[in-house]
Amino acid sequence: MTTSRETIPLHPTTGRSTPMPVHIRWMIRRDMPEVLAIEEQSFEFPWSEEDFIRCLRQRNCIGMVAEHNERVAGFMIYELHKSKLHILNFAVRDELRRRGVGRQMVKKLAGKLSPQRRSRVMLEIRETNLPAQLFFRALGFRAVSVLRAFYDDTPEDAYLMQLRYSAAAVAADGERATRLAG
């Protein structure tokens, strides 16, 4: 009997799943059916197509997708502000989670930070969304405040999480890339 899930290759020495390579690019209209399907499977209160379109029509709003084998593996919607990037929506296709897709998307976004201009990435996470809290925390985000009754659809609170620009992290990534290339 076969399943719809892919076989996840394991690293030969660590035994952990190997990151799945993705291509991160601008979101286009043709991506919307797959993005909406990921949104539906990911959230109890999903955005509608109109929500996505309204957001992406704003001048400071950017949509990106992570693509693998010509399919959308994940997406992120974020706003550009003077001193920060604000993630509005972020999700990975259910069967591709824990494969490094989300990590690669966050790394791409964090690569846009600098000490001179946008020095942090912010996002709100529902207090009941423990997997997202743990995911972003593992990537260096820290909870900076609690936003009481933040959501319109429930009286639920949100955690405001933040990732700050770090020159040490940028240097470590550069060093790692040099070692891998040489």
Tens of pLDDT, residues 125-181: 999 999 999 999 999 999 999 999 999 888 999 999 999 998 655 544 554 444 444
**Cβ-based neighbour number of residue 49 at 10 Å:** 12
Condensed to tens digits (0 to 9), the pLDDT of residues 61-82 reads: 999 999 999 999 999 999 999 9
Q: What is the largest CA-CA distance in the chain?
A: 55
Token representation of residue 93: 């296709």
Mention the CATH class of domain 23-181: alpha beta
User: What stretch of H or E contains 40?
Assistant: helix 32-42
Q: Mean per-residue pLDDT for 1-13?
A: 44
The answer for 140, left when phi > 0, alpha when psi is -120 to 50, beta otherwise, is left
Whether pTM > 0.85 for this model: the answer is no
The half-sphere exposure of 140 on its side-chain side, counting CA atoms within 13 A, is 13
Residue ranges of the domains in the chain? 23-181
Q: Mean per-residue pLDDT for 100-127?
A: 96
